[in-house]
C-alpha cells in the first residue's frame, strides 16, 4: 500500500464494519500519532454509525490521562509509546464508550522524536474486546511520517479483523 492510499484504508475499514455488524458489535478508537485517521476512515463508510461508537484523539500525555484514564504512573514508568500505555488507552476507550471493541495507537511518526530505544517508526497498538480480551503489539514501520501513520492505521484495523473474526470461529 502506498503511504497515503486512502481508498485501501477505507476498504479495510469497510471490512471491519461488515464483520462488526455481523457480530452485533461496535468499535471505539483511541488514537495518538494517527490523530484520528482511523476514525476518519471508519466514518467515510456509509452506515458506519451502526458499528462505530466514538473516537478519542489523545495526543498529549495529559489528554491520555484526562480523557482515557491512563494512569500518570503508567506514562512515567513506560512512556507514552509503550504497550502498557496503548493497553491503558484501549481499556479507557472501552470504559468510556458503548463499544465491544476498542483499538489504541501510540507511536513516533517522525520525522523527529525518536531515540535509540524507540526510533522513529515505532508504534504500539492495543485491542480491547469483550470478555476482558486485551492484546498488544509493537511495530517498527519504515518511511516518512505519512507512511508510518498509514501503516499504523492499516495494522490497527487488521488487528480488529483478526480478533473479532476469531470470535466467530
**pTM for the full predicted model:** 0.95
Domain assignment of residue 105, yes or no: yes
Residue 143: pLDDT band (50, 70, 90) is very high
Rounded Cα distance between 7 and 90, Å, is 26
Share of the chain above pLDDT 90, in %: 92
Quick one: DSSP state of residue 49?
G
Query: Facing residues of 105 across strands?
Result: 31, 125
| 113 assigned to some structural domain | yes
Alpha-carbon distance 128 to 118, whole Å?
A: 24
Angle between the 61-68 and 83-95 helix axes, to the nearest 10 degrees?
A: 30
Domain that holds residue 111: 6-166
Quote the pLDDT of residue 166.
Answer: 77
Is 1 part of a structural domain of the chain? no
pLDDT recorded at residue 131:
86
Number of Cβ within a 10 Å radius of residue 127: 24
Is residue 86 in a domain?
yes
The long-range contacts involving 136-142, CB below 8 angstroms and separated by at least 24 positions, are 136/83, 136/86, 136/87, 137/83, 138/83
Tally of domains within the chain: 1
Q: Is residue 62, in this structure, part of any structural domain at all?
A: yes
Q: Is the pLDDT of residue 3 over 50?
A: no
Contact 58, 102 (CB under 8 A): no
In a domain, 37, yes or no: yes
The CATH number covering residue 79 comes to 3.90.950.20
Residue 49 resides in a domain: yes
Question: pLDDT tens digits, residue range 70-101?
Answer: 999 999 999 999 999 999 999 999 999 999 99
30 lies in a domain?
yes
User: What average pLDDT is seen over the chain?
Assistant: 95
pLDDT digits (tens, 9 = 90+) for 107-141: 999 999 999 989 999 999 999 999 899 999 999 99
For residues 88 and 105, what is the distance between their CA atoms, to the nearest angstrom? Answer: 11
Q: Residue 42 has which C-alpha cell?
A: 471508519
Amino acid at each position: 500500500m502506498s503511504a497515503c492510499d486512502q481508498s485501501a484504508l477505507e476498504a479495510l475499514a469497510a471490512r471491519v464494519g461488515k464483520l462488526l455488524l455481523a457480530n452485533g458489535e461496535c468499535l471505539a478508537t483511541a488514537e495518538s500519532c494517527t490523530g484520528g485517521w482511523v476514525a476518519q476512515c471508519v466514518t467515510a463508510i456509509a452506515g458506519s454509525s451502526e458499528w462505530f461508537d466514538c473516537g478519542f484523539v489523545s495526543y498529549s500525555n495529559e489528554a491520555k490521562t484526562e480523557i482515557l484514564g491512563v494512569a500518570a504512573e503508567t506514562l512515567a514508568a513506560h512512556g507514552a509509546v509503550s504497550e502498557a500505555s496503548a493497553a491503558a488507552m484501549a481499556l479507557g476507550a472501552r470504559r468510556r464508550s458503548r463499544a465491544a471493541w476498542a483499538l489504541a495507537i501510540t507511536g513516533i511518526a517522525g520525522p523527529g522524536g525518536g531515540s535509540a530505544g524507540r526510533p522513529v517508526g515505532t508504534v504500539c497498538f492495543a485491542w480491547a474486546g469483550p470478555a476482558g480480551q486485551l492484546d498488544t503489539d509493537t511495530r517498527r514501520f519504515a518511511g516518512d511520517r505519512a507512511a508510518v501513520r498509514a501503516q499504523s492505521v492499516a495494522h490497527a484495523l487488521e488487528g480488529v479483523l483478526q480478533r473479532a473474526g476469531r470470535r466467530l470461529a
